[in-house]
């Protein structure tokens, strides 16, 4: 027991002497820079980390994939001055101080599926819809 206490004290004094000013060194690196044509006002990341939302000073939200590719742009108006990611990947909260509002918007991410060469039955130009139940348990 005394030995554990002595080791603890030794580690404590060595680390406190090493970080005498109370700071702990932190190393960091820039992993990616998103170059934009519009000035960013606010940013949010979806709960699953797949989407980066950037609110611009021109009243739009730029939607980037996690790898930094611009996927879409939503016009939301100049009254929006803050964004926050919701509890699910498809929910985004927009705040407006001027209007004293919080808007909850649901996003629908549309994915194109290449079906060329696949067998089919019925008209070639018939619409196809796929429903995804992300909240099913």
Query: Are 59 and 76 a contacting pair, CB within 8 Å?
Result: yes
DSSP string, 45-58: E-TTSSEEEEEETT
In this prediction, residue 16 has a pLDDT band, given cuts at 50, 70 and 90, of low
Q: What is the pLDDT of residues 26-46, one digit of tens each?
A: 888 988 888 888 899 999 999
With respect to residue 89, please indicate whether it lies within any of the assigned structural domains.
Answer: yes
Range of the domain at 103: 35-110
With respect to residue 53, please indicate whether it lies within any of the assigned structural domains.
Answer: yes
With respect to residue 81, please indicate whether it lies within any of the assigned structural domains.
Answer: yes
Strand pairing report for 101-106 and 91-96: antiparallel
Counting the structural domains of the chain, the total is: 1
With respect to residue 80, please indicate whether it lies within any of the assigned structural domains.
Answer: yes
The model scores a pTM over 0.75 = no
Residue position matching structure tokens 């603890």 = 8
- CATH number of the CATH domain containing 85: 2.40.10.360
């Amino acid at each position: 027991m005394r030995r554990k206490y002595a080791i603890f004290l030794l580690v404590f004094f060595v680390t406190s002497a090493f970080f005498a000013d109370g700071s702990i060194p932190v190393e960091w690196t820039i992993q990616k820079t998103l170059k934009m044509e519009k000035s960013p006002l606010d940013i949010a990341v979806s709960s699953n980390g797949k989407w980066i939302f950037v609110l611009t000073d021109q009243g739009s939200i730029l939607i980037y994939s996690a790898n930094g590719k611009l996927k879409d742009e939503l016009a939301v108006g100049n009254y929006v001055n803050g964004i926050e990611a919701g509890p699910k990947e498809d929910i985004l909260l927009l705040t407006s101080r001027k209007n004293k509002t919080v808007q909850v918007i649901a996003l629908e991410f549309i994915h194109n599926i290449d079906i060329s060469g696949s067998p089919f039955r019925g008209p070639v130009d018939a619409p196809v819809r796929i429903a995804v139940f992300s909240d099913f348990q």
